[in-house]
Amino acid sequence: MKKRVFFAAVVGAAIMLSLLHTNSAGAITHSQRVIVPAYTHPKPAGEPDPYWSTLNALFKKDQGKTVPMAIVNVNDGPGDKADPNYARQLIDNTNNGIRNIAYIRTGNHTKPLTEVKAEIDRWLNFYRNTISGIMLDEVVATQPDQIAYLKDIHDYIRKTYPHFVIIANPGGHISDAAASYADIFVTSSTSAVRYLGADYTPAISAFETSDETIERNFHIIYDATPSQYPAIIKKSRERNAGYVFITNAAMPAPFTTLPKEFDRAITLATTGSPNPKAYVLPGSLETSPKPAPAQPQQDTKPQQHNPQASPAPQNQTAAVASTPSQMPHAQEPHNDQHKPNDDLAETGSNAIILAGAIITMIGIGLLLTACNAYRQRSRR
């Protein structure tokens, strides 16, 4: 009888250990990376520029490990002429290991495809090999005609610029039929209150729920307090987001200032176990040539930004906001980001799991022993 009790305790502990490991090593503890929507215009050389000075320090230190991409936006797209201040900044970003993702506004698919393609070409004409990808804003990816629009742009980029990363921003859930037409989708762009609320609409597509596509899901959460950062990171991991950006700034301009405690937000996101099913993005900064200093090909007067913010997308699957463009606004500098100690985090997690398994085994053993003793007394 004692052997049976011990065997049952061991089996029960093994089951509990398996459950604990599943919860800790799956989508919940995978490490994430940060994509920065950097919608603030660089200042002319020699002028104080707190926003870009802070990002430059972060990029130089990080070299693309935890913050691999920055979305750049001159004027809801490339504008009509090259901006020398942007040209200089994009070179700095590239030399620091950052992929510059060029912003294109589609207007919920109202912009003609020929115009979208022309804007993509202008980004390359103005800034050449400092551009590593395209972010298509205000896309909708649920109905066949919407997916066909996205597919047309995707196919053009893949044919003309095969090394480009393609990010599509519907700001909410997508259908699996659309999943092939971008490398990364912004499948949530909303406020912290909605993101953490009980009424948040869960994803149902395989794309957003599969471990195979963690590194293709990007969540943007704005209007968050630093105290909410840990809860947001936890939720974003449970929701399969491999990329995340959290900011305390609110609509209508959440992407023109850097978040409060940005280094802490990065550390929270990037601490965890590496994803064993990593998605390989097109292109490689390691094999791409370093850019030569770009000479603006047209009038060198800096492009003025459009002060009108982009409207939220008309996405029928989730009441969330798409990434808009905003007026430039400088942010006070703060401390550089500290690189997380993944080994330490994983060791602590494993220790907790082991302790839980031991306690569970002891508890089950004691419970079964007590039950057996009670049965023996009852028989007497």
Q: Tokens 């990007």 label which residue?
A: 218
Please state the rounded mean pLDDT for residues 55-67.
94
Judging by beta carbons within 10 Å of its beta carbon (0-12, 13-18, 19+), is residue 344 exposed, middle or buried? exposed
Predicted local confidence at residue 333, as pLDDT: 31
pLDDT band at 166 (very low <50, low <70, confident <90, very high): very high
Closest CA to 92 of 73, 75, 70: 70
Highest mean pLDDT among 21-25, 291-295, 365-369: 365-369
Contact 66, 339 (CB under 8 A): yes
Residue 346, pLDDT above cutoff 80? no
Closest CA to 63 of 342, 341, 339: 339
**pLDDT tens figures, 113-122:** 999 999 999 9
Q: What is the Cα–Cα distance from 289 to 251, expressed in whole angstroms?
A: 38
Please state the rounded mean pLDDT for residues 45-60.
95
Please state the rounded mean pLDDT for residues 355-378.
65
Judging by beta carbons within 10 Å of its beta carbon (0-12, 13-18, 19+), is residue 173 exposed, middle or buried? buried
CATH code for the part of the protein at 32-339: 3.20.20
Please state the rounded mean pLDDT for residues 45-55.
95
More confident residue, 228 or 327: 228
Highest mean pLDDT among 18-32, 153-167, 274-288: 153-167
Residue 339, pLDDT above cutoff 50? no
**pLDDT tens figures, 257-306:** 999 999 999 999 999 888 777 788 997 544 344 444 444 444 434 344 34
Percent over 70 (pLDDT), the chain? 67
Predicted local confidence at residue 275, as pLDDT: 76
**What is the residue extent of each domain of the chain?**
2-20+345-379, 32-339
Q: Which two tokens stand for residue 134?
A: 């395209």
More confident residue, 140 or 327: 140
CA distances from residue 219 to 140, 198, 355 in whole angstroms, order as listed? 16, 17, 33
More confident residue, 247 or 326: 247
Q: Is the pTM of this model over 0.75?
A: no
